[in-house]
Chain A
C-alpha cells in the first residue's frame, strides 16, 4: 500500500525537477532494482523486473556498471560504465557473485559453476578464443533470468532440450555435422516421451547425461556409467557380462544397441535380433541371442496364458485376487529378466524366467482345476433333470387321480 505511493511521489518530484530533459515516463519506470535506467530502457527493465535477480538486490549497475541514479545519459553511462559485456567476459562476470560462497550460501546455491564451465567443452572452446560458443546468458538469458523450477525458465527441465537444441539441433552450428539431428532424435526417444507426454520430470534431458555447467560428451567407455545412474540393474548385469570387456579397442556400450539420443523403449524381441548388428557371421553368438529371447518368450507366453485364464475366471466370476497377485509376481520376475539379459548369459536370464514360468504354470494348473469343478455343474444338472422329470411324473399322476375322481 505504502510503496506505490512513495514511488508516485518520487515520480512526480522527478518529473517536475527534470521536466526539460526527461522523456515522459510512467511512475513505474523507476524501481529499486533498476533505478532510473528503466526510464530510457523500458523493455530491459520489464524483463529484469520479472527475473529471479530483481528481488534479491541485484541491480542494473551490478552487471553493466554506471550510475542508476542519474537520468542524464552522460552521467549515467559515466564512470565505471561497462555497457554490454563482451561474450568472453560473461562467465567471469556472473562468477563474481556465483562463485562467492558468502553470497550464495543463503540461497543454498552451488558455487562451482564457473569452475565446471571452464572444464566443459563450451568453456575450453571459449578459452581458445571461440566467441560463438555458449556462455551463461545463452542458456539462462540475460535480463530475464528465472529460477530453474520456474516453468517459464529456459533451463527448466521441460525446456532444456529446446535450449540446448537452439545450437545443437541447428545447421548453423559449425562442425559436428553428425549431431545436427540430435534434438529430433531425442524428441523421438522414450526419455522425451516420459518427460513430455507422461509429465515425468525425473526423465532425463540433455544435461542428465552430458552434465550441466561442465557439459561434455561422455568418454568412450563411460557410457554405461552415465546410463547406469538410472539404469542401475542393467549396468550391474552389463558389467558382470562378456560385453563389458573391451576387445580390440572397441567395446559394445549401451548406445551400441539402444542408440545414444533416440533411445527407444525396450522391446524384448530385440534380444534375438540385436546381436546380428555386430556378430552377423558368428553363428554361436547369434544362437546365444536367440536363446536369451527364447527363454524370455516361453516364460512370457506361460504367464500370458495364466493371465488370460485369470481374466476368464474373473468373468465367471471366480475368486481370483490371489491369482492376480501371483501374476504380478510372475511379471516381476519377467521384468527382472530383461535387465539380466544385459549380462548376455542365458543362465542368468533363466534364473528369472524359470521362476516366472513356474508361477505361470502353477496358476494355470490351479485355475484349470477350478474350471473342471465348474464343469461338474453339468453332471449335477443331469441329475437335477432326472429329479424334475420324476417330479413332473408324480404331479401328473396326482392330476390324473384328481381327474378320475371327478
Chain B
C-alpha cells in the first residue's frame, strides 16, 4: 500500500521537496489514487504535501462499505495476485518440458513456494467470485444506466479478463488435470460460432502444445493483467466524474476522512490475505502428475465457467442456434445500458430484474447439467 508520505511541517527542505522540484509528485499521487485509494479529484498543480493535506481533510464517502466494497476487493485481490504471480514467475519456465517440473520445484522444493502458489491459485478463485458478484450487484441495482454506462462496460470487460486469466493460468502448471481441462475448454471455445475460431486463433490454435503454452503464458502474465489494470484505472477515473453509487434511501452515508478510508483498506487487505492463507492451508489444490498429451486421464471436466457453454454448444441438438443465442446474450449484456436508457417505473425495473434472474438461473441450471453430464 502506498502511504502518502510523512507529513511534517512544510518547507523543511527534505527529500520530498528535493524530489518535488524534479518530479510532479502530485501527478504521481493522482495516478495512484486512480487504482482505488481515493477517488476525489486532485489538483496536480499544487505541491504534494498540500495535496495530501487537502485530501486528508476532505470528507470522502465511505467507499469500503456495504456492497461497494466489491470494487475495492477487486483492486486489492489484483494487487495480491500481482505480488504472488511475480514471485512465481521467478522460477516458472513456460515450455512443455519444463513447465510441470519447474512448478513442482516451486511447490515442493522451494521454501514457502507451496504457500505462494496456493495463495495465487485461491486468489484467482476469489477474484473471479468477487468480479462476478460485482457484476451481478451492478445489474441488480441498475447501476448501468446513464451516466454510468462506462462503469458497466468496465465491469463486463473485467469479468471477461479475469475469466480469461483464470483459463490461461490453469494451463501453466501443465498438470495432467489442468492440461486436459484446458484442452476441453478450448473445444468449447472452438464451438462458439464466428467468435470461437477467432479466439482460438488468438490463443494459438487447437492443439495444446508449446506454442499455445507460451501464448497462454504471455497472455496470463502480461497482456491480461495490463488490460485488467487499464480497466481498473478507467473504473476509478469514471468514478471521479460520476461519483459513487448512491443506492437505496439515504442510508448511513456519513462522510469519513481519507485516513479512515486508508485504514479500512488496509484492514480489508489483511482480512482477505488471512482468508486466502486459510484456504491455501486447509484446502490446498492437488497435483496429478505431469500432463501427457497422449494420455487422457479420467474425470477431467472443462473449467466450471465453461460448463454452461459446453452444454449449449456440444450437448444440445442445434449447437449453432444455441451458440448464436449465447453470442446474442453476451452482446445484450454489453448493450444493456443503451437499451434501458429510459426512466424506469417500478414495474419495469422489476421486470428487468426478473429477466436477469431468469438468465442467471438458466446459466446455473446449464452448469449443473454440464457437471452431471461430465460425471458419466
Q: Which residues of A contact B (CB under 8 A)?
A: 314-319, 377-378, 380-381, 384-385, 388, 391-392, 395-396, 398-399, 402-403, 406
Contacts and interface: CB of A to CB of B under 8 A. Distances in A.
Given A317-B104, A381-B281, 16 more contacts: A314-B289, A315-B287, A317-B107, A317-B287, A319-B108, A378-B282, A380-B281, A384-B274, A385-B274, A388-B270, A388-B273, A392-B270, A392-B271, A395-B266, A399-B259, A402-B257
A40 B271 CA distance: 100
Given A315-B286, A319-B108, A384-B277, A402 B270 contact: no
A377 B281 contact: yes
A377 B259 CA distance: 36
B270 A395 contact: yes
A403 B274 contact: no
Interface string B267-287: 100110110011001101011
23 contacts: A314-B287, A314-B289, A316-B114, A316-B287, A317-B287, A377-B281, A380-B281, A381-B281, A381-B282, A384-B274, A384-B277, A385-B278, A388-B270, A388-B274, A392-B267, A392-B270, A392-B271, A395-B263, A395-B267, A398-B263, A399-B263, A402-B260, A403-B260
Contacts, number: 57
B264 interface: yes
A388 B260 CA distance: 19
- 8 closest A-B pairs by beta carbon, nearest first, are A399-B263, A388-B274, A315-B286, A402-B259, A317-B108, A395-B267, A381-B281, A402-B260
Contacts of B374: none
A262 B339 CA distance: 78
Contact of B277 (A315, A381, A396): A381
Interface in B285-315: 286-289
B282 to A, nearest CB: 7
Interface string B235-260: 00000000000000000000011011
Contacts of B256: 403
A396 B267 contact: yes
Contacts of A378: 281-282
Contacts of B273: 388
A403 B274 CA distance: 25
Contacts of B104: 317
A388 B271 CA distance: 7
B284 A316 contact: yes
B109 interface: yes
B6 to A, nearest CB: 15
Contact of B267 (A314, A316, A399): A399
Nearest to A384: B277
Contacts of A317: 104, 107-108, 287
A316 B286 contact: yes
B147 to A, nearest CB: 31
Contacts of A377: 281
A396 B282 CA distance: 28
Contacts of A402: 257, 259-260, 263
Nearest to B255: A406
Residue among B114, B263, B278 with the highest chain A CB neighbour number at 10 A: B263
Nearest to B103: A317
Nearest to B285: A315
Contacts of B286: 315-316
Contacts of B114: 316
Contacts of A403: 256-257, 260
B252 to A, nearest CB: 14
Interface in B4-18: none
B118 to A, nearest CB: 11
A282 B259 CA distance: 92
Interface in B58-102: none
B129 to A, nearest CB: 21
Interface in B93-128: 104, 107-109, 114
B257 A381 contact: no
Contacts of B267: 392, 395-396, 399
A314 B289 CA distance: 8
Given A316-B284, A381-B282, A388-B274, A399 B264 contact: yes
Contacts of A319: 108-109
